[in-house]
Structure 1
Amino acid sequence: MTTLTNFTCWSPEVVTATIATEAASPSDAVLLATHTPLRVRRRGDGETGQVITEEVFIDEFLHGPVKEGVRVAPVIGESGSGKSHLVRWVYAALKESHGRHVIYLPKAQTSLRDVIERLLRDLPGPQFEEVRSKLDGLSEAVSKATLERKILDELAESVREAEVEPRDFLAKALVGDRGLYVLLHDPLFRQYLLEPDSFIPKRAEHALRGRGLDEEDVPPMFTVDDLPLAIANVKNIAEASELARAAFRRISSDPQLQVAAVKLLNDHLDVAVMRAANLGVGSVQNAFMALREHLVGQEIVLLIEDFALIQGIRRDLLDAIVEVGTVGGTEKYAPVRTMMAVTSGYYSALPDTFRTRAEASSPIYVVDVDLADISSGTNRTAINFVGRYLNAARLGNAKLDDAAPSIPNACESCEFIEQCHATFGRSDDGFGLYPYNESALRRAVAITADPDRKSVFNPRRVLARMVRGVLTEQARSIEDGLFPSEDFLRPERVRDSEQALSRRQSDLSLSELSEINERYVEPERTRYLLAFQFWGGVSLEVHPGVYSAFSLPQSDLNFESKRPTSPESPDKESTAPSEAEVIAPALQRQLDEVDGWARGASLPQAVARDVRNIVRRALVADLAWIDPIMKAPGTQDLSRAVPDGTQISRAVSIEGASENLAQGVAPIVRFEQTPANGILFKNLLHFQANPSIAPDALIDLRTVTDRYRAMITTRVIEALSFDQANLVAAAASLLAGAALVGRLPVKPRLNDYVAAVLWSGDGLSRSDASRIGQWTQAEIKYLAERKPTVDAFRSALGASQGIGAVHAVDDPRVRQVVKSALSGVDSLRSELLPPWAQRSDKSRRELEEKIVPQIAEWARVLQEIRTQIPAGVSYLGTVDAIKAAIEVGSTQGFVKANLAEVETTNAEARERDFASVGRLQGTVDGARDSQGMDLWSAVGRADGGEVVAIANYLRYTDSWLAAGLRDAEGRDLVGGLDIDADIDAAISRWDEILLTSDEEGHRE
């Protein structure tokens, strides 16, 4: 091999065996080979802390005064800060010391058995054997389940018997037989508290087995989350006892009581663990005090890597190490120098009496490194730290042990040393940084910081995730020419594991990220992105040798000319105002939030709302309703089609923003969480604040709206139910209604149908007295409700000025709709109608239901007429005969009505169109065999006014004729009266006239 390409100078198996993330794991040779001096701050009361060297720290601890036999040096730091490493390093330095009894409690061996055995190792005597014998109960044969139940039982008993201050009313509510005791003993709550991931099982496992290498820290104390508060969500609370339910209701409804419950449980946890392990309370303290008494004349050095992990005996141990050693001027107990690594939170929770004594005996020491101190090019703490581990990974345990105490440099025997160091760099100790370089290491350190303390260097995370993890898991990718791959920054390796890849590296501007997205496709896009971000550094110029080493073609992108002038606004060159323009703080905050969103963070609701509103306004602003031609929709109609307000995310959806989209809802616009869209959003926000700042925003916005204009038009048409199927169904209903009210001629043409559909119902004036009241009422109702339907139909097919009435319709399209409607009008189904046509169609159907009673009424009137004027009898002859009868009968007094009225009625009757009787009879007869449009049109066109007038005339005439005849016949029946011959002659002549009229042929 002549080049560095795809080269690995380590073995993943050796890396795994050599680089441990726990301080207690490595051999002394590895520890010394990888140890980097830590920054230690000496902190007294009220002091921020003075930075001291490790040498000063260890000298103060070993040679500082022991006050009354006690010196306790708390080493405080967050998880992974190096505090345990510091304790381990002190232990390595003390192994050969004389005159001291050194006890070392590593964090990987913190089960009860491990701790007690280490405390009492090699110490003979009955007082020590008694404690050791009690450990038999914690042999491997003891099941975890048994210990869990015993801890819970002992904890219940301890809190039941607990003594509390008389004024501590919260604690008083939790002790005794009706407090926490009933919850800890109730089967339902016990089952919940003993579930595998609950606190008690974890502590029981730890008590038996301790903490394994690289396992997460076991929670040292109960928290509110460990209380069975969520049991109501997953269990049937009714299964619990009445007392348990009462206690649960009290605790679950009172947050203060919950805090008090947690404190009470934690105060008695150690006692419960010791009793469950068959260790008497105070037995370990007594044994340790016996140890101190046994070692009078020497000094005990107790080194505890993580005090929070000490199981069960913490209280005993605390009391023992702060117990004064000099009594009455005589040294009764050996002095104890205790160094204990502990997190700040747990240290603060230790008993006040212990902390007071500890802090009176020694300063507190704080271990941490501010990332701000190592992010610059002058501070190489992190570089040297990782460099030592990279060197150890290449050498392995065996070579380091053989070479101890010296530390060889693996790079010195490598054929690529000059090429590699020139490309990737080296630490101050001369250790090569490959496969990293300095900028890549600085970024690796930064992105692995603790999420809760992002400014603090976390060595453990760096080692586990970016050194050991990368060397073991990415070796194959390097050899295959695929490094750096997306897996290089997989979520569990970074502090913000929920963030997208681009969010984990925030120094590239959005325009640069966007250009990378446009230029490359996966997996090359991710590889270049990582190369620019890590190995390129702030200049974004990746060394050609890095490209070659990783088999990555050299990029021709040049970002140097586009670099931002201000790191606070990386997209200032393309989206921000001029230098003279002052950005309001509120706007700047929005821009920063959009920038974060474009890199993978969530977009705050307020910013998302502003962006959505801007885009939505643009979507509906320039809609031209000419294709298809229709009336411009109103505000409410647009809101249904393009939702706004609380439903605006259904119109404009933004990935990575909170939105309440129901499953299956497809928004109109969907903005993906990309740098390009981040630039767009920033431009839009700039434009909203000051249109003169970002004039290009209008062009960008128009590009978006143009893309979705056809979709929005379709959405509006769908929201208004103006699509073709709806219009055809509505037209069919309107045609049927027009037919029912007589608006169609006998042989209509297409123009007639079009006119009928567009007719709003105005101007209908029926003079037809033959319509029954039900028909008339139904017809009036239909005509009133037809108008809104026709208006909507016109809106769907016509143009208007603004929101005014439609002044013109799209005639070709109307004709097409009407043609389609004609083919389906007879089979019209109401469920196919659009909402805006359903009400009028319901009225139309109600009118249609009146056809049967209307036909029946017409048939009745016709039958009445035929009774008076049977077939074959002349209507005009009948009228003339009646006229003659009037002339004869009036002289004899037989006309029993107003003579003038009778003569007028008779004269009007002679002008009646008797042919209307035949036409109406044809309608009635045809109704039996017709349906659909034929029936509706026939009934609608029918006019029975003349028929009714004829019937009324005949009925009126019959009434006075019948009365006159009865009068004449009455005169004949009067017994003693002489009937004048003239009267007899008149009656005979009247009868003759009537009879003659019946015998004449029918004449119209």
Structure 2
Amino acid sequence: MADLRGYLCWAPETASATINTEAINPSPAVFLATHTPLTIRRARIQGRSLVSMDGTVDEKAVLKDFLERRSDTGTLLMPVVGDTGSGKSHLVRWVRESIPPSENYRVIYLEKSQTSLKAVVHGLLEGVESESLSKLRADIDSFSSGLDETGLARRLINALNEALASTTPKDVSGPTRALVGPRGLAAILQDPHIQEHLLTHGRYVPQLAAHLLHNRSADSPDRSTGFTVDDLPLNVREIEKAAQVSRKLLEMLLSTPDLQTAAIDLLNQYLETAIQTVSNLGAGRLQEAMLQVREEYARQGKEIILLVEDFALIRGVQRELLDALTESATREGKMRYARMRTLMAVTTGYFHDLPETVMSRVAAATTGYVYDLDLVYSKEDADTEQIATFVGRYLNAARLGHEELERFNGQRPPNHCEACPVRTMCHDSFGQSEEGHGLYPFNRSALVRMIHSVAPADKPWAFVPRTVLGSVVRPILVEHSQEIAELSFPDPHFKERFPTGPELPALSSAVAELINTYDHIDPERRKNVLEFWGNAPSDPTDIDSGILHAFGLQPLPDEARQYKQSRPRQARTSGSPSKTTDGSFPERLQRRLGAIEDWATRNQPLPQPIANELRSIIADTVLRRYTWCSPLMKELTKGEVGLAWPNSSVVVSIEGAGGENRPGTDKAPIKFQRNTLNSQFFQSLLLAREGVEGARAEDLRRLAHLGEAKAKDLTARLQQHFEISEAELTVGFRASLIGAALAGKAWPGMDDADLLTAALDDGRTWKRGDQNLRTAQWRQLLERHLQHRKALVDRIRIGLGISQGTGAVQMIDAARALPLLRRAASDWTWSAEQPVPSWVKGAVLGFAAWNTRLEEQLTGLASTLGTIRQHLPRDISGRDSVEAVLLALKEADKVGLSPKGSGEKDRLNALISEAGKANWQVVSALERDLNKILVDDVTDAGAARVRAAARDRSESLVIIEEFLVEADRWLTYALDDAAARSDSVGDAAALEVRSVLNEWAELSGLGTDEND
């Protein structure tokens, strides 16, 4: 028994050969078998616009009107206007197939594919012989065979150049005047460099050359009907290679849009002249030839019927052809030319752009109106029988095949469904047209939605036959036939091919999520079937079971049908933040919910304001649940955190949302894909924020879980932004320790507590006691460091501290800080190559010379120690030296050997007083530190050098050195003065003083010469 499940009532190869998107392709039998009555309207020409007249007509009315309408001039021109694919050519061909045979007619048919200049001329002149016509045919044949596309393209440009160069400003008006003459557009066309640009493959002139020489194949794309702004040489590379006059004119064109429009109009105006020049037609030659043809048929008593499938494609002869077609049949009351009826298809854009002279002739020859096929239905009228009838006939033709259709020779073929074994189930489930043709594998809903999806964006309800066949019917019957048979249709990419526009309801994300819940086998296919074949119902079970069976889908369980729509689809005009009295949502909230639905179900972009609102809710949730203790750090203000955790796509990335183009979005820690689950989640967030009922509990739980789960990511972002990772804090600690060493507050070997205290001290009260012993470079480096030290220490505290709220840091996490401190203190060198956080950089300016500063300072300290030891041997007490100098000074006062001048004596007395209070142990401490550097087997020479250089030797060392130097200077003076005394009293006193001085000299290690 036959089963509709995966059933194919057509052969894909037969469907491909039978369904043609061009009216010229099928045989008469296939054409007539698939022809569907068209809905056509009459429209009056008003200026350059068409004004629709009341009512519509069918093609039979058009045929009757075309054959019977009389014109005072004996010529009738009937344009059929419509966009590409609207059925213009189809109507023209149907008229041709429907014109009854008659000896009174001569039918000339210019097919859409026969558009080369040779084919057009031969078609127009066929059946009439004369010497001049034979010469014209021969010239056209010679033109077509004597030139290739490249040569013709170059000749076309040269012909345009000549036509424009011979035009003077008085021949035109407005901005066009600047473009005519030899220094206008002609100069650009003549410029060799710009010519090469215009002759590039894909440009209009090479396309036109191919058009003139070759007929159009069935699968060729639509051809351009003239120059456009894109064809102007406004983006020529290496423009400096062009002549100066060309460059100046191009600059004018670039800066003046009106001039660009004028240039295009001018080029198109002279294009036909250029074509006639290169093709040897010459001005008026084709018109004269057509009039000869009309004269001949007038003698035969015949009327000419000219059918043109696309007038815009007859390049180079339109104006002369129109002149010949609209020439009055009578002259001075006598019939001179055959009467003529012309039915020509014209695209809407080309019709509106016809030159004024041509438009006036068309208006006069049409006797007032044209036929317009640009029909646009309303949403309410979209599901019409025309769609079902049109597609139904083609489906029937595809099932029968073209060979079967040929047997009926244009008569109405049988309905293939009559003998189908699954007809009843098929028609009951998928429907049929009024003529009884089954719509399977479509139904009315699917057809309307798919046709609407492929319609022009500016006319979403337009019915374009070529588009319906080429983008809907053929792809499903040919490309998707295997999927239908294998029960994998519609595939996951189906909706990408047929996106749901804003005019039709999409399957709601709520229904989609129910399908995800209850269909664990093929949820995506079911969603597509429900949306297209089920017309997006609000109940996931609301679809014909036969459709599910045909596509291999099982019915959902009973509990799925209990779903009730909880979120109204219709917006209300209310400013209230809560539900309105009738239970619907406020308009603003409804718009936001609708945008989220469209984002998930229609693949529409999510507007940035809504995306930012969602990002804010989610990012703030993570922040509010953050405890600042994993790891422990200072709690920052929201503004500070916002720098590291902004409410933007770098933290919360939403696929397909506005604002996703920020650098770093690809590394966002929170990412949401475009799907119905996230649509429901986002809608719940908005509902909860507005305090409106309807937020799903599972979505709120998901938000709470998200807040906890992303704590580690927030930590990482905080550490990254504030540069307080363990590695960066270690660098900060090392910088702080070296800075403390510069200030004499830290050095290798100190215990952890003292090091931590020094590292976390902002240094505002620091002052070295041995400042005068420091080199100028050392002092400068310390001063520079202290200027930035507070910011350095503050950042370390932020990374390791705890505070009350967002106040100052009160405690430090020692368990985390000490390992970092020890790591930093393990190396007291500074490498300029290491990565340095931005907050450390100010405090380490000049640290690259740290080793040099150490060497300089050690040299200075060694020099100081040498000076001291020169006057104070190691086994001599410093305080004894002070007492000896004091005694010597008292004795010297008695005999007048004290320092000269009260100032010097006071200074020496002051130094003696300060030296007496000084800590003389600093001398031996410095000596020990310096000696450790010199020990060969020291395990840490680097640390020893830092200790020796960094320790604060206090002011005592400075005082001791100054005291010893000043005392030695006075001693030398006093001894010399005593030796110079000669009187007996003076000699006796001098000897006594000398004895005291020698005692001190011996103490100081200087000694005295007994002969002194």
Is the pair's TM-score, using the shorter chain for normalization, greater than 0.5? yes
Q: Could you give the per-residue CA deviations for residues 389-422 of structure 1, whole angstroms, max 9, x where no partner exists? A: 1111111222222123242111223222233223
C-alpha change, 1:336 and 1:638, in structure 2 (3 Å) is: same
Question: Structure 2 matches for 1:887-906, cutoff 5 A?
Answer: 888-896=891-899
> 2:399 maps to which residue?
394
Give the aligned partner of residue 803 of structure 2: 800
1:185 to 179, 187, 190: 190
Q: Could you say which residue in structure 2 is the equivalent of 1:863?
A: 866
The question of whether the paired residues in 2 share the 8 Å contact of 1:87 and 1:303 is answered with yes
Distance across 2 between alignment mates of 1:902 and 1:172: 104
Q: Secondary structure at the match of 1:546?
A: helix
The Cα offsets for residues 940-985 of structure 1, whole Å up to 9 and x where unpaired, read as: 335264344344334444444444444444431xxxxxx34x4332
**Matches of 1:74 and 1:560 in 2, distance apart?**
58
Aligned pairs, how many? 977
Does structure 2 retain, via aligned residues, the 8 Å contact 1:474–1:488? no
Matches within 5 A, 1:876-891: 878-879=881-882, 881-882=884-885, 884-886=887-889, 888-891=891-894
Greater shift, 420-429 or 704-713, is seen at 704-713
Q: 2:344 aligns with which of 340, 346, 350?
A: 340
Whether contact under 8 Å (2:637, 2:806) holds in the other structure is yes
* SS of alignment partner, residue 107 of structure 2: strand
Residue 248 (structure 1) aligns with: 250
Cα shift readout 1:571-626 (whole Å, capped 9, x = no counterpart):
x9xx9955647866666555544443332123444544554455445554553312
- The match for 2:279 is 277
Aligned counterparts of 2:749 and 2:568: Cα–Cα separation in 1? 82
Query: Aligned equivalents of 2:330 and 2:447: distance in 1?
Result: 52
One-letter identity of the residue aligned with 1:533: E
Q: Give a deviation string over 1:136-174, Cα, whole Å, max 9, x none.
A: 124456422232223222222222234665561422222
CA distance in 1, matches of 2:76, 2:431: 45
- How do 1:765-804 and structure 2 match up within 5 A? 765-768=767-770, 771-772=773-774, 774=776, 775-776=778-779, 778-804=781-807
Alignment of 1:816 with 2:822, yes or no, is no
Please tell me the root mean square deviation across aligned C-alpha atoms, in Å: 3.5
- Going from structure 1 to structure 2, the CA distance change for 1:488 and 1:804 (only over 3 Å counts) comes to closer
CA distance in 2, matches of 1:900, 1:53: 128
Instruction: State the secondary structure of the residue aligned to 1:632.
Output: coil
Match among 403, 409, 413 for residue 408 of structure 2: 403
SS at match of 1:220: coil
Q: Matches of 1:821 and 1:175 in 2, distance apart?
A: 80
Q: Which residue of structure 1 aligns with residue 1008 of structure 2?
A: none
Query: How many angstroms does 1:462 deviate by?
Result: 0.8
1:160 to 146, 165, 186: 165
Partner of 1:548: 549
2:370 to 364, 368, 375: 364
Q: 2-side partners of 1:1000 and 1:373: how far apart?
A: 118
Is residue 203 of structure 2 the alignment partner of residue 198 of structure 1? Answer: yes
1:991 aligns with 2:994: yes
How far is the alpha carbon of 1:358 from its aligned partner? 3.2
| Distance in 2, Cα, partners of 1:725 & 1:52 | 80
Aligned to 1:935: 945
**Range with greater deviation from structure 2 (100-109 or 48-57):** 48-57
CA distance in 2, matches of 1:874, 1:358: 128
Q: Distance in 2 between matches of 1:164 and 1:843?
A: 74
Write the distance in 2 (CA, Å) between the matches of 1:38 and 1:904: 122
Q: Distance in 1 between matches of 2:911 and 2:120?
A: 129
Contact map agreement 1:33 1:400 (CA 8 A) in 2? yes
Q: Which amino acid aligns with 2:262?
A: A
Is 1:39–1:51's contact at 8 Å kept on the other side of the alignment?
Answer: no
Separation (CA, whole Å) in 1 of partners of 2:250 and 2:32: 54
Q: Deviations over 1:179-204 (max 9, x none)?
A: 22222232222222222211122222
- Residue of structure 2 equivalent to 1:736: 738
150 and 588 in structure 1: CA distance in 2 versus 1, 3 angstrom threshold: farther
Q: Helix, strand or coil: the match of 2:307? A: strand
Question: What residue in structure 1 maps to residue 55 of structure 2?
Answer: 51
Q: Would you say the 8 A contact 1:782–1:847 is kept in 2?
A: no
Distance of 2:80 and 2:914 partners within structure 1? 124
Which secondary structure state, in structure 2, belongs to the residue aligned with residue 808 of structure 1? strand
Q: Does 1:445 align with 2:457?
A: no
Partner of 2:1009: none
1:217 aligns with 2:218: no
Q: How do 1:420-435 residues align onto structure 2 when only pairs under 5 Å count? A: 420-435=426-441
Q: Percent identity?
A: 32
1:35 aligns to 2:44 (yes or no): no
* 1:975 matched residue in structure 2: none
Q: TM-score, normalised by structure 1?
A: 0.89
Cα distance change on mapping 1:282 and 1:874 into 2, 3 Å: closer
Matches within 5 A, 1:305-384: 305-360=309-364, 361-372=367-378, 375=381, 379-384=384-389
Conservation of the 8 A alpha-carbon contact between 1:127 and 1:290: no
Q: In terms of mean alpha carbon deviation, does 18-27 or 920-929 score higher?
A: 920-929
1:147–1:881 distance in 2 versus 1, CA, 3 Å: closer
Letter paired with 2:8:
T
Q: CA deviation at 1:561?
A: 3.9
Tell me which moved more, 60-69 or 511-520.
511-520
Q: Is the aligned partner of 1:478 residue 2:484?
A: yes
Q: What's the offset of the Cα at 1:210?
A: 2.2
Look up the SS of the partner of 1:650 in the other structure.
coil
Residues 42-76 of structure 1 deviation map (CA, whole Å, 9 limit, x = unaligned): 22356432223323332222212212112222211
Correspondence for 1:104: 109
2:121 aligned with 1:90, yes or no?
no
Amino acid at match of 1:758: L
The more displaced of 464-473 and 889-898 is 889-898
Task: Extract unaligned runs of 5+ from structure 1.
Answer: 973-978
Amino acid of the structure 2 residue aligned with 1:671: F
Cα-to-partner distance string for 1:30-51 (whole Å, 9 max, x where unaligned): 2222222111112235643222
Partner SS, residue 406 of structure 2 = helix
Q: Which letter does structure 2 place at the counterpart of 1:457? A: F
Answer with 207-216 or 759-768: which moved more.
Answer: 759-768
Give the match's secondary structure for 2:459: coil
> 5 Å matches for 1:673-822?
673-684=674-685, 690-692=690-692, 701-744=703-746, 748-768=750-770, 771-772=773-774, 774=776, 775-776=778-779, 778-822=781-825
Is 1:535 paired with 2:533? yes
Q: Distance in 1 between matches of 2:654 and 2:731?
A: 38
Structure 2 CA distance for partners of 1:796 and 1:879, relative to 1, 3 Å:
closer
- Corresponding residue of 1:976: none
Contact 2:41 2:373 in 1 (8 A): yes
Letter in 2 for 1:670: K
- 1:455 lines up with 2:457 in the alignment: no
In 1, Cα distance between the equivalents of 2:911 and 2:433?
Answer: 128
Q: Does 1:150 align with 2:155?
A: yes
Q: Is the 8 A contact 2:15 2:401 kept in 1?
A: yes
The residue that corresponds to 2:512 in the other structure is: 513
Asked if the contact 2:654–2:674 (Cα under 8 Å) also holds between the matched residues in 1, the reply is yes
Secondary structure of the residue aligned to 2:811 is strand
Amino acid paired to 1:50: D
Give 1:288 deviation, angstroms: 1.4
Distance 1:521 1:131, change over 3 A: farther
Distance 1:165-1:350 versus aligned 2 partners, 3 A rule = farther
Contact 1:742–1:940 (CA<8 Å) still a contact in 2?
yes
| Aligned-pair CA distance for 1:270 | 1.9
Q: CA deviation at 1:685?
A: 5.3
1:75-94 CA-to-partner distances (Å, cap 9, x unmatched) read 11111112221111111111
TM-score of the pair, normalised by structure 2: 0.88
Distance 1:106 1:704, change over 3 A: farther
Note the C-alpha offset of 1:660.
3.2
Larger deviation, residues 72-81 vs 201-210:
201-210
